[in-house]
Amino acid sequence: MYVLAKARAKSYLTPGKGIEYTPIPWKSAFTELEQLRRTQGIMQHHDAITGTMRAQVLADYISMVSTDVAHAEGIVPSMVAVMMAKAARLRQAFESNASPLPSYSLTPAWKTQPDGSKHMVAVLYNPLAWSSKRIVTVTVQEARIRVVDNNGDEVPSQVRDATRRLLHMRDVAREVWWCSWMVFVGACA
């Protein structure tokens, strides 16, 4: 299903065939999405989505939702373009053994601290309705790396494929709760 959806999305982006879109800067997209989130928040109110409001209030709600959804719909094509570009660049990066996607990707960026040390942050999110514990794999740029969780406790890990610069994190120390997350920090050993 994902492949079909991706193919369809790609066809949308074909010049002359698909929809026309203008890339939207992230900051303005962020602002618009934040506004939609807040409007959607108001809609969960017990006199909104319930339908127990007065007619003029309903009209106001519809106006708010329509405006913000229209902005979000304008963002979606740009999102699809980014996804497609990302997939292509990611594949290219793997094939050429180059550092994949220095600006954004599945590779967490390295941060240089004031003392000169470097670290990367990876967030592991569990979208399931139950806790989960399993081995995860994160692409890294440094092979010599020490991984700790957000409590500072070391997480056992090993490099699975140094050629591709993959870090294979195994035996995650703690379960990730449902709909929750934990943060890993990798620092140069």
Partner 1 sequence: MRYGTAHLALSLCPVELTCRSLARCSDPGWLRTFEEYYLSDVSHIITSITNALDGNASRRFGWVEVSYLERWWRDQSSDMRAKFTRLVANGQLELLMGGWVSSDEATSNYMQVVNQMTEGHRWLQEHFGSLGRVSRPRVGWQIDVFGLSKVYPALFSQMCFDANAAWRISEPEMRDYMPLHELEFVWRGSESIGPASELLMLLLPWGYEAPKEFLWENNNAAAVRLTGDIEVKNVRNRPHCLPACLPACLLCVSHSLSRCSLSLSLSLSLSLAQAARMLVNNLRDRANSYNTKQLLFPWGHDFRFKDAATMFSNMDRIINEVNSNIAQYGVKLRYATPVEYFDQLNRLNVAFPTKNKDFFPYHAGPVNWWTGYYTSRPAFKKMLRDADHIQRVAEVREPPREHFHCETITWPLTSVYLHRHWYFVAMDDR
Query: Which residue, 13 or 40, is less far from partner 1 as judged by CB?
Result: 40
Binding-site size, partner 1 (CB under 8 A): 71
Query: Which residue, 14 or 130, is less far from partner 1 as judged by CB?
Result: 130
**Which helix (H) or strand (E) segment is 4 a member of?**
helix 2-13
φ, ψ at 182 (rounded to 5°): -140, 155
> Measured between alpha carbons, how far is 85 from 92 in angstroms, rounded to an integer?
11
**Which helix (H) or strand (E) segment is 65 a member of?**
helix 55-96
Residues 134-153: x/- map of binding to partner 1 (CB under 8 A)? x-xxx-----------x---
Residues 6+ away with beta carbon under 8 Å from 124: 136, 172, 176, 181, 182, 183, 184
Name which position in 65, 90, 143, 173 contacts partner 1 (CB under 8 A). 65
Min. distance of Cβ 64 from partner 1 in angstroms? 8
The verdict on 86 binding partner 1 (CB under 8 A) reads yes
The verdict on 84 binding partner 1 (CB under 8 A) reads no
φ, ψ at 107 (rounded to 5°): -95, 115
Which residue reads 């959806």 in tokens? 5
Touching partner 1, residues 20-59 (CB under 8 A): 26-27, 29-30, 33-34, 36-38, 40-54, 56-58
Query: Which residue, 26 or 94, is less far from partner 1 as judged by CB?
Result: 26
Q: Which one-letter amino acid corresponds to residue 166?
A: L
Name which position in 31, 144, 162, 178 contacts partner 1 (CB under 8 A). 178
Touching partner 1, residues 2-21 (CB under 8 A): none
